[in-house]
Amino acid sequence: MGAEFSAYPHRVQGWTKVWTLPARSESATLVERFAQARGIAPSDLAQFLAPSWSDLRPLDELAGVRNVGARLAEAVRTQKHIAIFGDYDADGMCAAAILVHFIRAARNDLAVTVYIPSRATEGYGLSKSAVEHLASIGCEVVVTVDCGITALDEALEARRLGIELLITDHHAIRSDGILPQAEAIAHPALGTTPSALCGAAVAWKVGWAFACAWCENERVSPVFRTLLTETIALAALATITDVVPLGGDAARDNRTIVRLGAPRIATSGLPGLRALAREAGIGVSDSVDAERISFGIGPILNACGRLGNAQDAVGLLGLDCSSASDKARTIASQFGLLNADRKQKERMIVESASKRIEEGLGRASGACVLASGEWQRGIVGIACARLSDKLNKPVILLESAGEFLYGSARGVAGYSVLDGLHACRHHLDRYGGHAAAAGITLRADRLEAFREEFSSHAASHRDGSVNPSLIADAILEPGDVSIATFESLAAFGPFGMGFPPPTLLMRRARVTQPATHFGADGDHIAFHVTLAGHGSSDAHMRCTWWRQREFCSKIKNGMLVDLLVRPQVDRWRMPARPACTVIDISDAG
């Protein structure tokens, strides 16, 4: 039965998901219709499309940033032994590298210790053993980046050992509101103007405050001005890879940071970042957007934290501008090999977990919780994300390592996995993260009880009013199909959580070439359609549908379909032409 489009807005069932269709709009252009759908007023459009440095929130709106920056500047002036304690994901690695650059710009002769815990043996966050180690090697000041906001016992241990602890983080504060007893804390949730910055963006603002304190002036020296423009690219990279919100007032700085920083990546003065871009296939004249970061640079960088040594990545990103480019390229190519290995292992985990779920193992009413000794803890999080999207349920995958299980959780619309873990904390040895993603550790003998309780919590606490459907912003008419129009839509980026890419409805498109599969494993499909216009205004496009090989035989030549698509410009084939990525299909009848 084909979908009916006579009434707007309403919902229809596609081949994979429910759609919420757009209301008709009287706006003349697709760009105007899209802006209207996203609630962007015409008077705000120019600033939205071209934010500037002056659009960044003032430093004083980030609670604690001045205090942390001033204390760090004083530590550098007095030549104290400083340690930067980070996290093993891209956000934490970028954050650590940012502070390395700022400290080096102030005193190039001051040694700085970088400590990134091992994902396999230490897990996430500041630990007492790490604090004791840093004290034993003479560290006097420890600055956390992308972690530390719940490290109550660790902060007390640092104080006992005479370490000055400075915390910079963005993760959720404890539900009871208790903060660590640190000398200073910079956190976007503590001020009167909360924001949704990632850890590296917080570190970048700490670096800015450090520069002001070092220069004793709000107008910092040319060296620091150059450094701010270079390192904002690292903050942009982390903002995208850490999947922080890009929509809403709390995310205003995130959008600005990405718009200012992402274009600098391809030609970055930081040799490590430039080498990562080349490893991801980004040339010096290529544009860099959120998609190229998410699917290109980010996975290569994260592979180091998942399968290698995250401190190597901080070392790469922390290379100064005078460092040899060939050294950076060699290191980046090694990360590329790790990423290829990661892809293979991820595919194995997804296939193995999917098979067990189909057999009913680990699948309860509200969530899926599975463990295996063959699944590597550094990779299970990516597999979780794919499975939770497919099943529309929270998913937890764990590596079994002796008496303990280590792994990751991913949430879905309307449910916070962090809330669920907190409700089940009596089963857990350790946990932390966000509403959408978290890491956990528990004893193997607690698995069954935890699975039952977590699944029950997910089933009873998921907000059913949160719309899980695919939402179309506007109808794509044949006259809208052009490179110029699609590029104008792309200018609304960055796209990500809270501000997804434009999703358009193509009505009654005719398949003109049957679907074929492609990719290393034949997972993806491609086909061509014609969108009928008036006279000679028909629009022809190539459509790509990722990871949907199962539908290949269903898409037949000549059939009429309704499509939800994301427009793009295909530059792989010359000349460049409009194309689209398919999100879902429905029979047009």
Distance between CA 508 and CA 527 in Å, rounded? 15
Q: Tokens 């942390």 sit at which residue?
A: 68
Q: Which is nearest to 236 in space by CA: 255, 249, 211? A: 255
Q: How many CB atoms lie within 10 A of CB 513?
A: 14
Partners of 471 in the beta sheet?
20
Q: Tell me, what DSSP letter sits at residue 117?
A: -
What angle do helix axes 271-279 and 310-317 make, rounded to 10 degrees? 110
**Distance linking the first and last C-alpha atoms of the chain:** 6
Q: Are strands 470-471 and 474-475 parallel, antiparallel or unpaired?
A: unpaired
Across the range 167-183, mean pLDDT stands at: 94
> Quick check: bond before 514 cis, omega within 30?
no
Partners of 166 in the beta sheet?
143, 184
What residue spans in the chain does CATH classification 3.90.1640.30 cover? 60-338
What residue spans in the chain does CATH classification 2.40.50.140 cover? 11-38+473-587
- What is the pLDDT at residue 532? 84
Mean pLDDT rounded to a whole number for the chain: 92
Distance between CA 473 and CA 291 in Å, rounded? 19
Query: pLDDT per residue over 15-71, tens digit each?
Result: 988 899 887 666 679 999 999 999 999 999 999 999 999 999 999 999 999 999 999
What residue spans in the chain does CATH classification 3.10.310.30 cover? 360-461
Q: Tokens 């460049």 sit at which residue?
A: 576
Partners of 566 in the beta sheet?
581
DSSP reduced 3-state for 7: coil
249, amino acid identity: D
- What is the pLDDT at residue 71? 98
Q: For residues 257 and 508, is the Cβ–Cβ distance under 8 A?
A: no
Architecture of domain 60-338 in this structure: Alpha-Beta Complex (3.90)
Sequence-distant (≥ 6) Cβ neighbours of residue 525 within 8 angstroms: 515, 516, 517, 518, 544, 545, 548, 549, 551, 552, 555
- What is the pLDDT at residue 4? 41
Fold topology of 360-461:
Diaminopimelate Epimerase; Chain A, domain 1 (3.10.310)
Query: pLDDT per residue over 97-147, tens digit each?
Result: 999 999 999 999 998 999 999 887 887 889 999 999 999 999 999 999 999
Chain centre distance of CA 211: 28
DSSP reduced 3-state for 310: helix
* φ, ψ (nearest 5 deg) of residue 216: 55, 40
Task: Categorize the per-residue pLDDT at 552 as very low, low, confident or very high, splitting at 50, 70 and 90.
Answer: very high
Distance between CA 423 and CA 438 in Å, rounded? 14
Task: Categorize the per-residue pLDDT at 2 as very low, low, confident or very high, splitting at 50, 70 and 90.
Answer: very low
Chain centre distance of CA 69: 26
CATH superfamily of 11-38+473-587: Nucleic acid-binding proteins (2.40.50.140)
Query: pLDDT per residue over 298-342, tens digit each?
Result: 999 999 999 999 999 999 999 988 777 899 999 999 999 999 999
Encoded tokens for 234 = 């690292």
What is the 3-state composition of the chain as percent helix, strand, coil, each rounded to the nearest 5? 40, 20, 35
Task: Categorize the per-residue pLDDT at 7 as very low, low, confident or very high, splitting at 50, 70 and 90.
Answer: very low
Kindly report the pTM of this predicted structure. Answer: 0.89
Which helix (H) or strand (E) element contains residue 277?
helix 271-279
Distance between CA 165 and CA 119 in Å, rounded? 22
> Quick check: bond before 575 cis, omega within 30?
yes
Largest CA-CA distance found in the chain, in angstroms, rounded:
80
